[in-house]
Structures are given as C-alpha cells and as structure tokens.
Structure 1
Amino acid sequence: MNRTTWIDALPELLEAFGQTAWMTGWAFLITLVLGLVVGVALRLTAPDGMTPSRVFYQVCGAIVNLTRSLPFLILLIVLIPFTRYVVGTAYGPTAAIVPLAVGAIPFYARVVESALREVAHGKIEAAQSMGASTWQIVRKVLLPEAMPGLVAGGTLTLVTLIGYSTMAGAIGGGGVGDFAIRYGYQRFNAPVLLSSVIVLIVIVQVVQSIGDAIVRSMNHKRG
C-alpha cells in the first residue's frame, strides 16, 4: 500500500470510520449518563449545594481531578488490566470504549457541575418554598435550566472523545487514528495520512456545528 492513493485505501478508511463511530458513540453515551450523575452529585454536595457533604465532595472531587490530570495515553496503558477484565480483551474498538469513557466522565462531570452552578439560586429557593424535594428540583429546575450548557459541554466532550480515539489507535484500538498510523505514517504514504486527517476534521466540524445549532435553538426558545 506504499504507492496507493487515498481512493485505493477508501474501503479500509470507511471501516476505520465505522470503528471510530462505534467506540466514540458508546463511550459518549456512557459518559453522558455517568458524567451527569457524578456532576449532579458534586453540585448537590458542594459547600453551597442543597445537600452539602464536605467529605463526599472532597473525595469525589479528588478522584475526578486525579483522573482528569492523567494524560490519556497513560490512562490507556494503566487501564489495560481493567479493560481486559470488563470486555475480555485490551485491543480493538470495543475495548477502547472503556478507557475512552473513563477518561471523559470526569471531564463531563465538571462541565455538568459548572452548568448547574449557573442556575439562579432564586429559582431553586422558589421550588424549595413550594415543598419540592431535592430530586424534583434537580429534575424540574436544575437540569432544564442548565440544558444549553449541558448540550454545549456534551458537544465539547464528544469532540474530545474523537481526539482521544485517535490516540487509542496507537495501541491497537482501531479507528481512523489506527488507520492513519498503520497505512499512512508507518508506510510513508502522505495521501492516505492526509485523507485520515481530513476525515477527522470533517467529523469534528459536523459534530460541533450540530451541537452549536442545538444550543442556539434552546437559547432562542428560552428567549
């Protein structure tokens, strides 16, 4: 494949694109669910939250900060035993879902916490005065009011996951990153390497555009 063009490599590139979509898609769904749970828990147990808990907030916050501070490539290697335990293998697109999610959950959790912190205290106090429970306030006040920020943060998280997925390819995770390394960089095939870069740029641009459009729509309806 040293002298082939990007058109000759198109079948492999399309397969790699499917692998990237698989690993980032599932990792994104897991991140949205668990990141939202952790983010809400951090906001509620913060010193100025509705159910403050200094111990939980500091311990959970320390774990989140520790995970966020690790370079993703190091996290990939550290999680190999855990990944093998969860999915039975440490290689391939499915295995890459585990470190991708673990790396992104703390990031999105902080996004959620920050978005919820922006909700006006007056709206929370109004709900409390009407006898709403903590869960009702979260479900009917905090999350709806913070939704534009949550969507914007989710878009940023997905873009980050796409970037992480290219690094996962460096240790056999598959996807466009793996394709670029094996068929482009290692074989000194500039056209194939360039096609991989273009695919990633297009994916990121499409994701960002869709996310921005959703946020604008939400802000317009609220306005």
Structure 2
Amino acid sequence: MLPWLTPTLQDLLIEAAWQTAIMVGGAAAVSLLVGLPIALLLHVTATDGLSPRPVLNRPLGLIVNAVRSTPFIILMVAIVPFTRLVAGTSIGTGAAIVPLALAATAFIARLFENALREVDRGVIEAARAMGATRTQIVLKVLVPEAMPGLIAAVTVTLVSLVGYSAMAGAVGGGGLGDLGIRFGYQRFMPEVMATVVVLLILLVQALQSLGDRLVRRATHR
C-alpha cells in the first residue's frame, strides 16, 4: 500500500471511481439509445440515402453539428436550466449525466453515420433487388454490415466520455476529475493527481482493449 494512501483517501478514490463509472455508463447508454436512431435518420434521409429528405436531413444535421462544435465546458454551463429541469439540480453526478449525454449523443451520431456510410452499396442494392423494404434493409442489412464500425464508434465515445467526465468533475460533477482538482491541485497533493491520472489511463486502456476485441470478433464473424 502506498504510504500516502490513507484509508480515508482510499475511500474517496473508490467513491470517485464509482461516480466516474456512473457518469460514463449513464451518458453512454443514453447516447447509444438516441444516437443510433439519429444516425440512421441522417443516413437514410441523405441525398444518396434510401429515402432522401433534404428538408429533414439538413436541419437535423445542423443541430448535431452545433452540439458537436460547442466546447463541453461551455455546453455544461449553457444548458444549466435544462439540466435543472431534467435532474432537479445542476450539481452532482446525476446532473452531470445530462450534458455528458447530450454531447455524447451528437458525437456518436456522426460516428455511427460514418460507419453506416462504409457499408457496401452493392449489398444494399442486392437487398433491394430481392424485394426488401426500407425497414428490412436498415435492420437486417445496414446495421449488421456496419456492426464493426458501430462498435468502434461506441469505443471512441466511451473513451471521450472518460475525459468529459473528468472535466465535469471540475465544476461539481464529482468523480475522479473532481478528486484530482480538490486534492491534487487545490491541496497541493501531486501524488493524488498522479493516482487519478493513472486510474484514468487504466480505465481508457481497458475500454479501448475491450472495444478492439469486440471489433475483431464482429469483423471475423
């Protein structure tokens, strides 16, 4: 056991790691459930999509781009009223999930859209020739064929969320970022900051390794 890692500080590290896991997991779940339908809608309604709808595609694309282009720290402050409406407060781990989920949804929607674009159009045309409906093409051809890219997109989003969660901790969201700022920076305890950095690196490495393994499995199926 490290000499400076007192039982109290150890408990704080465990609690902070748990808060980070809640923020990342909650935001990832929301972004996945909302981001995939948005990506499918963007892909299907594109000019060269299954059902071109520029009137729908362009405004939706602009909204996604607007959220993506807003720095996360600014986004957190800008949607404080919305966060209070949804979570009942703008401070704490639960409240931090709201801006995290919003930022991650726009981010993953574009990554999903790019993965869907990589699907060979010949496969889609073949499904059309066999009489498949648009819904069948999307659910039974487009999504399964894009699965390796979709998994890779989820992995990238999870890694980004770890960084976002640390930023959220700096403004009252809790988690490892909050612990690093309060103890490592404000109380001049560099060993705590170093521990937080190591934990974040290990978490990112674990997520990336798991994602890479799932991508390889989906590619070789």
* Deviation string, structure 1 residues 116-150 (Cα, Å, up to 9, x no partner): 11111111111112221111111100000000000
How far apart, in 2, do the equivalents of 1:198 and 1:122 lie? 46
Measured after TM superposition, the shift of residue 49 of structure 1 is: 0.1
> 1:125 is matched by which residue type in structure 2?
E
Q: What CA distance in whole angstroms lies between the structure 2 residues aligned with 1:106 and 1:15?
A: 29
Larger RCO (CA under 8 A, 6+ residues apart) = 1
Structure 1 match to 2:140: 140
Write the distance in 2 (CA, Å) between the matches of 1:160 and 1:88: 26
Q: Which runs of 5+ in 1 are unaligned?
A: none
Aligned counterpart, 2:166: 166
Q: Alignment length, in residue pairs? A: 218
Question: In the alignment, what sits opposite 2:90?
Answer: 90
Q: Give the structure-1-normalised TM-score.
A: 0.95
Partners of 1:138 and 1:177 in 2: how far apart? Answer: 40
Q: Does 1:64 align with 2:64?
A: yes
Instruction: Name the SS of the counterpart of 1:48 in structure 2.
Output: coil
Residue 7 of structure 1: CA displacement? Answer: 4.4
RMSD over aligned Cα atoms: 1.0
The residue type equivalent to 2:5 in the other structure is: W
- Counterpart of 1:11? 11
Superposed CA deviations along residues 57-107 of structure 1, whole A, max 9, x for unmatched, are 110111111110000000010111100000101011111110001001111
- For residue 175 of structure 1, what is the amino acid of its counterpart? G
Alpha-carbon distance in structure 2 between the residues aligned to 1:192 and 1:103? 28
Q: Percent identity among equivalent residues? A: 52
Letter matched to residue 33 of structure 2 = V
Paired residues of 1:6 and 1:191 also in contact (CA < 8 A): no
Structure 1 residue 38: Cα displacement: 0.5
Task: Identify unmatched segments of 5+ residues in structure 2.
Answer: none
Q: Post-superposition shift, 1:220?
A: 2.1
- Counterpart-to-counterpart distance in 2, 1:7 and 1:21: 22
Superposed CA deviations along residues 147-177 of structure 1, whole A, max 9, x for unmatched, are 0000001000000011000010111000000
Q: Which runs of 4+ in 1 moved over 4 A?
A: none
Change in CA separation of 1:197 and 1:67 when aligned onto 2, cut-off 3 Å = same
The equivalent of 1:219 in structure 2 is 219
